[in-house]
């Protein structure tokens, strides 16, 4: 019997970028149908496992950095990442009927903004745990 490969969206920065891109694409396809009440099921199918894996990883990071001098920064980064996941999750679960004046482009733009924000916070927690999210985002600009 052959072992199934383990799905790891946070294996590397490029893998994370690919997963974020897949969520953007899936959301775009769902919004393209643009019927009242659409919830983006395709993007949620990709998003939920990413969220679960990142939450597990954040616990590992917190447990491994207990005596680290950057522990407060790490805790702040984890809280920011959790908030970003919650905000995006709520957005993906929100039906399009709630925002009558929004176009397809408005929905897609908002999704992309939230995904980019989430990607930055995941990178800080998973790949650069000793770097403050605010500083990393500011340096990237």
Tens-level pLDDT at each residue, the chain (141 residues): 454 445 677 888 889 999 999 999 998 888 877 666 667 788 899 999 999 999 999 998 888 776 667 788 888 889 999 999 999 999 888 866 556 677 778 888 999 999 999 999 999 888 887 776 665 554 454
> Does 8 reside within a domain?
no
Q: Structural domain of residue 35, as residue ranges?
A: 13-140
> Does 2 reside within a domain?
no
> Does 5 reside within a domain?
no
Whole-angstrom Cα distance, residue 100 to residue 12?
Answer: 39
CA atoms within 13 A on the CB side of 114: 22
Count of domains forming the chain: 1
pTM, full prediction: 0.81
- Burial degree of 31 (CB within 10 A; 0-12, 13-18, 19+): buried
């Amino acid at each position: 019997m052959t072992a199934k490969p383990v799905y790891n969206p946070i294996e590397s920065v490029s893998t994370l970028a690919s997963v974020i891109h897949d969520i953007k694409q899936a959301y775009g396809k769902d919004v393209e149908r643009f019927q009242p009440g659409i919830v983006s099921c395709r993007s949620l199918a990709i998003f939920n496992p990413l969220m679960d894996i990142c939450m597990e990883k954040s616990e590992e990071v917190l447990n491994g950095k207990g005596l680290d001098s950057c522990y407060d920064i790490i805790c702040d980064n984890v809280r920011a990442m959790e908030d970003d996941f919650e905000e995006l999750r709520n957005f993906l679960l929100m039906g399009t009927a709630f925002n009558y004046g929004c176009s397809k482009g408005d929905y897609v733009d908002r999704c992309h903004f939230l995904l980019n924000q989430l990607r930055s916070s995941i990178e800080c927690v998973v790949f650069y745990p000793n770097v403050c999210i605010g500083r990393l985002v500011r340096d990237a600009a």
